[in-house]
Amino acid sequence: MSSINWQQAVYDVIKSGGINLIGYVPDAGHAALINSAKADDAMRDVVMTSEEEGIPLCAGAWLGGMRSLLLMQSSGVGNCVNMLSLQRTARFPMVILVTMRGEYAEFNPWQIPMGSTTQAVLEICGFKVERVASEAEAAETVQAAIDFAFNSNVGVAVLLSQKMLGRKKWVE
């Protein structure tokens, strides 16, 4: 399965799960999902200046009768630690798809500290965390996360492994 196909399958699951708002900070790992959201007239795509803006965005969407989802990179999780308490305190359903950095063949040493602690940080903040290591399990795992979050009013994060996403290379 090519990377475009798994990302399209994930977008299809997002749509079938009733998600109608996606918040994101631009990220190459999420580019196909972002482009699909932008091209879809039925989807609200909200570009954010910082990942922490996504937590109240999802809370407001839920209060307004919408289902939302956040896209971010593992380094963005560190930007959200304080704001993640809003989900835990208000108990609204929330799904975050996290592209991992600081793992497989990382070229940027600044990505390693947050990449190595992303799962633990999310779990300490009360999120259920699922990890996707292969393209074949991506859509099913995202579907399970959406179902779990919206059936239980909890936060669920799906970590998309850097090995699955492919090597990132510095380009000058």
Which mean pLDDT values do the consecutive 10-residue runs of the chain (172 residues) have? 76 98 95 97 97 97 98 95 94 97 85 91 97 97 98 98 82 68
Cα–Cα distance, 148 to 44 (Å, whole number): 22
Residue 96 CB: number of other CB atoms within 10 A?
Answer: 28
Give the pLDDT confidence score for residue 151 in this predicted structure. Answer: 98
Strand boundaries in the chain, DSSP class E: 19-24, 44-47, 67-73, 94-99, 128-132, 155-160
Place of tokens 């209060």: 63
The top-level CATH class assigned to 3-165 is alpha beta
CB 142 within 8 A of CB 158: yes
Q: What is the pLDDT of residue 27?
A: 92
- The amino acid at 97: L
Say if strands 44-47 and 94-99 run parallel, antiparallel, or are unpaired: unpaired
* Entry pTM: 0.94
Strands 155-160 and 128-132: parallel
pLDDT score recorded for residue 105: 85
How far from chain centre, in Å, is Cα 95?
A: 7
Q: What is the pLDDT of residue 89?
A: 94
Residue 2 has a pLDDT of 47
Parse the chain into domains and list their residue ranges. 3-165
Q: Please give the radius of gyration of the chain, using alpha carbons only, rounded to the nearest integer.
A: 15
